[in-house]
Every structure is written in structure tokens, then in C-alpha cells.
Amino acid sequence: MFSLTVVDHIMIAHSFRGEEFGPAQRLHGATFVVEAEFRAPKLDDLNLLIDIGLARDVLRRILSGLDYRNLDEEPVFAGRNTTTEYLCFHIHGLLAAACRDGTLGAGGRGVSAIKVLLRESHIAWAAFEGPVVG
């Protein structure tokens, strides 16, 4: 299995519902380093998995919808705790759709799985890994 990873970051604000979250129930900020790893069983005729520049551009466009926003006010997250794990899942879904619909070019259609990892700090991170299904 081949893989290619691109990295970017976002700064967000959010709060959580549930006593389990303690002080994080209050509005607070987070900065995440976002890693998107694309996986495919084979390379194309040019020996590429996916165009790295296009992958970076698409990741940035997706993250721009989250960057410098209060996620509590975003309709797409209404009624959800935007935990690090859930944000990984959300970003994965958008990247998978970009693979399926051609936004990531011909190489994107060859991607079989994506792993999205969000690093909240040097000691804590979460990830979601799953197939690109149609």
C-alpha cells in the first residue's frame, strides 16, 4: 500500500456539552495540525499516488470552512460535540467525497483509504481512518 500525506492547520473555537468535559464545556480555542494521508494499492502511469499540490489545495479549501470559526455556530455541527475525533471523521468525509467526485483528479479515484489525524498538542492527537466508498 502506498501513501502520501499533506499537512495544514486550523484554529477554531468550540464548547462541549456534557459534564465529562469539565471546563471544556465553556467556549475555548484549539489549534490543530491536520494530516491527511491518502492510500492506494498502486501508482498511476507517472508513478504518482495523487497530485501533491492538488491534495494540499483541496485540504486547504476544506479547512477554510473551519478555520477561525466558532464551530458551535456552524449549522453542519448543530447538536454535535466537535471533539477532535469527530472533526477527523468530518474532514475524512469531505476528502473522500473529493476523491469520488474528481476534485482530486484522476489520482483521487485510485485512492482506497484516507487517514485524517489532528494533533491538538505534542502530547495529544486523534485520528479517523476509513475507506473511500461511493
For the domain that residue 104 is a member of, what is the CATH number?
Answer: 3.30.479.10
Confidence of residue 7 (pLDDT cuts 50, 70, 90): very high
> What pLDDT, on a 0 to 100 scale, did the predictor assign at position 133?
86
State how far the Cα of 77 lies from the Cα of 119, in Å rounded to an integer.
20
Give the C-alpha distances (Å, rounded to integers) separating 95 from 18, 22, 24, 60, 103. Answer: 29, 32, 28, 11, 9
State how far the Cα of 17 lies from the Cα of 63, in Å rounded to an integer.
23
Q: Is the pTM of this model over 0.85?
A: yes
Mean residue pLDDT of the chain comes to 96
Helix (H) / strand (E) element for 70: namely: strand 69-70
Where b means 16+ CB within 10 Å and e means fewer, 18-44 reads eeeeeeeeeeeebebebbbbbbbeeee
Domain of residue 121: give its range. 2-131
4 has pLDDT over 70: yes
- Residue 91 in 3-state DSSP? helix
Into how many domains does the chain fold? 1
